[in-house]
A = this chain, B = another copy of it.
């Protein structure tokens, strides 16, 4: 799997191959970035969210995008994905299968996609209720990280981003964790992006197609996180920050019990767990939960020292009970 070229810029580029691109973009960006979007003669606006990734809508999108791209040869054409995670997952999938694969450029517009989903090549669609049941490994040729886009999101999204930043930093090293803790604001997070992205890509490079299990480390905080996200209708960042707290406290060690940058407090987690009416059902909704009820759970007891341990669903349920009442 080739690596993507990651570029950083202050503004959306005025020099760009607009002519040979098919822009797939989140329509909410039209308001602030309309002039740049309209420089693409071929463009396809979408509404972001999981609905975009439903395979039931794929035929309609494919026909429309096929029309928009008409006349471009497979060699000339590139798909530019401008948006957050769902737009990137969707447009990445389209690029990977359109004419058996055309060039792909990601322009992430959210912190989560800039830190995480735009890198590593995962694309995805949902089938019925099952998230990411269909997809490909198809790294973008280029990921363009643009300051103007990212700083346009407002403070709530910044809080969301912290959890993914904390996750990658804790998996990587004490040095990156120390740097991450010093981030005060969005400008600081933008400056840290190269380090965070490099850290994620290092993990991906060990296991590009999820065959060795190493890439599973990136699931740190996501097991209980996903259960909370779907059951309590939390944002992804909020849920991951709670999931990270759960995993860290379970591991014990130097990090447990401390307040940690970007990660929920024990009190916050306790309150969330108390609201979780049926933890067993919430866990079962995550597709990673079903394989013989054995789950590879990620523990980090100090920064840079992750470990994977097989636990059972009932182990997790017991730990949820313990932490709820601790």
Complex alpha-carbon distance, A69 and B135, angstroms: 16
Please tell me if A219 contacts chain B, counting CB pairs below 8 Å: no
CB atoms of A101 and B55 under 8 A apart:
no
Of B63, B127, B136, the residue contacting A96 (CB under 8 A) is B136
CB atoms of B98 and A133 under 8 A apart:
yes
CB atoms of A100 and B135 under 8 A apart:
yes
Which A150-201 residues sit within 8 Å CB-CB of chain B?
Answer: none
CB distance from A296 to the nearest CB of B (A): 12
Residues of B within 8 Å of A122, CB to CB, are 100
Main secondary structure of the interface of A (DSSP, over half): mixed
Please tell me if A315 contacts chain B, counting CB pairs below 8 Å: no
CB atoms of A62 and B100 under 8 A apart:
no
CB atoms of A136 and B291 under 8 A apart:
no
Please tell me if A99 contacts chain B, counting CB pairs below 8 Å: yes
Residues of B within 8 Å of A210, CB to CB, are 74, 100
CB distance from A140 to the nearest CB of B (A): 16
CB atoms of A98 and B62 under 8 A apart:
no
Contact indicator per residue, chain A 74-92, by CB within 8 Å of chain B (1) or not (0)? 1000000000000000000
The residue among A98, A127, A137 with the most chain B CB atoms within 10 A of its own CB is: A127
Known contacts A73-B291, A291-B73; is A66 also within 8 Å of B137 by CB? no
22 contacts between A and B (CB under 8 A): A56-B59, A58-B59, A63-B127, A63-B128, A66-B128, A66-B130, A73-B291, A93-B97, A97-B97, A97-B136, A98-B134, A99-B133, A99-B134, A99-B135, A100-B122, A100-B135, A100-B136, A100-B137, A100-B209, A100-B210, A101-B136, A101-B137
